[in-house]
Structure 1
């Protein structure tokens, strides 16, 4: 199982020094990937609760970097680790502009990009960027069509319900062929069907493993129904770490893990995930009140602990 780490693109450590420190240190430690999320707004009173924990949006989201710019910066300071978005709200910009940005990042990173897409959870962000909240599924389907067409290169044209692209010569090609892998954060039958039918993998968030693997089985079934090889799909599991008292080692109850727990409980979860068949697991230590140095230390202890198991 590949292990990854979230970049500090949210909160007080979001900035060039934090990205350089975590990128270089993670690669030197032996992590296999770096990931970052996507926010454009931090409203005082969101209309929809945050879909995790107590429903309160993390204060770290008030300070947010552009994920593709941050990953490009990380690419310049690393040479080996994969670079992923978890998740990029790809509907917030025209698909043609998105295709150009993703292709450029895949080129400058020499083929290390994993494109993780999602819808987000907050209607206010859609309002702020001038994109309708309704019809997100259809907009995503057409966005995927345009990405695939653009990455095919040569002469390209598109005419769909939402976007029209006149015939044009596309000379910019991604390093990875036919394009960088595209994964989707989805938790509905429609989303599972989309992954099985046309995408490269799934971006779930940590949950009890029986539920996780039940959802994965549904995706595998959808891939088989679409005459695709399910073994070509992969799962990259995000774990938003909320440590209990690290000094007293106060354990969380079994029903609370992996939402919260001690470092040892998260290590047990990661080892069990590997045994269950999870392909990749990446941790985010940045959504709790720790300094950058403490987060880097936790990352080292986590990697060592998983390997030791």
Structure 2
């Protein structure tokens, strides 16, 4: 399994943001061996939220060979032209290291702020994935849909990847969402706090069926689990404090659900949760430290990753 990290785009501490801190985080992640550097997307949130694409661009030169990913971008809110122009430039300047994760977004506040009808999000989203591909692909035929048209729009310069950067479609695991992933996506992004290992395995099995129906091979179709909020500590009181005073109020979700699903706590417990995802077929997990970001990058990679790898090997031996 591969391990990626989310850029710290939320001001949990109240200290604000700085370019130096962002670059130090990205460089440390690269030095430790993380393979993905991710940025999420909101216009409005319960806490101050730094713009994701801008943050990715800001750390390009210290990101090493890590794959850059939007996990996810909300192109219906941002608009297809701005999304294509911005992410295309990031792919070009990074030398073709971008994976474009996209989703419709679940925040009505984002849609209201952008002046886009929330009730149209699914119909628009179905179109916009193909719009992005069309805008990024040289000499492609124009797209004409109910909401968007690319007729007469040469959006140069094009991204580095040909014919276009890979687009991974987000789904929490509904059958309709997974059919959309199979039909439109080059990969699947699941949500770490909206699924379980059992649910992920069931969704992956259904997705494999749907991929076969549209002529795609499931064994070469990538997946990842994004937004796995994490805090590694032997101190259970500290883990509970982070959960109840930082994450709980931010997400407004039941604490018990978050406690069960997320890698927050001692290394052994964090590893057990993520080893279960590896056994369920997850190829990548993307972690988001809730505090003490640089220390958490190190603790996870040095204390948790070896336990996951050991647990995965044991499972493979037991099943062979």
Does the TM-score normalized on the shorter chain lie above 0.5? Answer: yes
Counterpart among 48, 60, 65 of residue 75 in structure 1: 60
Deviation (angstroms), 1:154: 2.9
Counterpart among 205, 208, 213 of residue 217 in structure 1: 205
Q: TM-score, normalised on structure 1? A: 0.84
**For residues 194-230 of structure 1, what are the alpha-carbon distances to aligned partners after superposition, in whole Å with 9 as ceiling and x for unaligned?**
1111201111123321111101111111111112222
Structure 2 residue 278 is the aligned partner of structure 1 residue 274: yes
Structure 2 residue 81 is the aligned partner of structure 1 residue 96: yes
Which residue of structure 2 lines up, in the alignment, with residue 10 of structure 1? 10
Counterparts of 1:138 and 1:120, CA distance in 2: 13
**For residues 124-167 of structure 1, what are the alpha-carbon distances to aligned partners after superposition, in whole Å with 9 as ceiling and x for unaligned?**
22111111101212101221121111122136533321123332
**Structure 1 unmatched ranges of 5 or more:** 43-60
| Structure-2 change in CA distance of 1:170 and 1:37 (3 Å) | closer
- Native 8 Å contact 2:135 2:153 kept in 1: no
What SS does the corresponding residue of 2:261 show, helix, strand or coil? coil
The 5 A counterparts of 1:178-193 are: 178-187=163-172, 188-193=174-179
Aligned length: 288
Which residue of structure 2 lines up, in the alignment, with residue 33 of structure 1? 36
Structure 2 residue 110 is the aligned partner of structure 1 residue 86: no
Which residue of structure 1 lines up, in the alignment, with residue 244 of structure 2? none
| Structure-2 change in CA distance of 1:274 and 1:249 (3 Å) | farther
| Structure-2 change in CA distance of 1:227 and 1:258 (3 Å) | same
Which residue of structure 2 lines up, in the alignment, with residue 161 of structure 1? 146
Counterparts of 2:257 and 2:171, CA distance in 1: 25
Q: TM-score, normalised on structure 2? A: 0.81
**Higher normalized helix content (fraction of residues):** 2
Deviation (angstroms), 1:247: 1.8
**Structure 2 unmatched ranges of 5 or more:** 241-255, 312-320
Which residue of structure 2 lines up, in the alignment, with residue 226 of structure 1? 214
Counterparts of 1:68 and 1:203, CA distance in 2: 18
Deviation (angstroms), 1:171: 4.0
